[in-house]
Amino acid sequence: EAVTQRTSLLEELDGHFSKKFLPQWTVRSPRLHSLVLWEGNALGNGVEDAIRENCQSFRSLTIRQWLESDADQTFATFVSGLRPNSLEYFEMISFSNIASLSFNALNQHSKSLTELTLGSLHDEAILALGRLKECTALRTLVLEDNVGSLQLEATQNDIFLEIVEWLSACSNLRDLTLKKFYDGPAILAQVLSSPN
């Protein structure tokens, strides 16, 4: 009973959790507003249901890395299972396999998501960035290309234009960082000249 009482006061969970135990922790932590996970695979096993039903203040998620092949599907399921427009902050620090499914799911938080960091994006994820087009409430956005060699403007101009269109629609954007993007200057030139 004492452990349950102490966990009910937790506002942030930070560390290495297994997907077996994370739902149990979230059920016991109704004040939880932030998760910081070393590995994204902890988000499996219905943890989104536990958060949706028990953690009404949940709004922030940070993941260090997520290399499992099912990361995109699992993260999309997690994000879709949260209350719509509840996630305000998401940071993927390092390497991951999230891409188009995850980006589509993040659109369900398009009105609440104000800070987004996607580190070490692989080519498939970069080519799917246009899927985030509904996330226009962003104030802070950090995108990092893992390698820095993908030439969107020259080889994938439709994708290049989708990204420019998305970023140009983010009228609240105040902090935009493009790390190792080959076309970073070209993207920024067009975005900064946007009337919005």
pLDDT per residue as tens digits for the range 30-63: 999 999 999 999 998 999 999 999 999 999 999 9
- pLDDT of 4 > 70? The answer is no
How much is the average pLDDT of 119-143?
Answer: 98
pLDDT of residue 8: 59
Cα–Cα distance, 141 to 121 (Å, whole number): 14
Confidence of residue 14 (pLDDT cuts 50, 70, 90): confident
Cα-to-chain-centroid distance, residue 42? 15
- Tell me if residue 67 falls in helix, strand or coil: coil
Instruction: Tell me whether residue 193 is exposed, middle or buried, using C-beta atoms within 10 angstroms of its C-beta: 0 to 12, 13 to 18, 19 or more.
Output: exposed
Backbone dihedral angles phi then psi of residue 143, each to the nearest 5 degrees = -125, 130
pLDDT 10s digits, 166-178 = 999 999 999 999 9
The pLDDT mean for the chain works out to 93
pLDDT 10s digits, 69-116 = 999 999 999 999 999 999 999 999 999 999 999 999 999 999 999 999
pLDDT of residue 9: 63
pLDDT of residue 19: 84
How much is the average pLDDT of 114-121?
Answer: 98
CA angle at 110 for the pair 182 and 195, rounded to the nearest 5°: 60
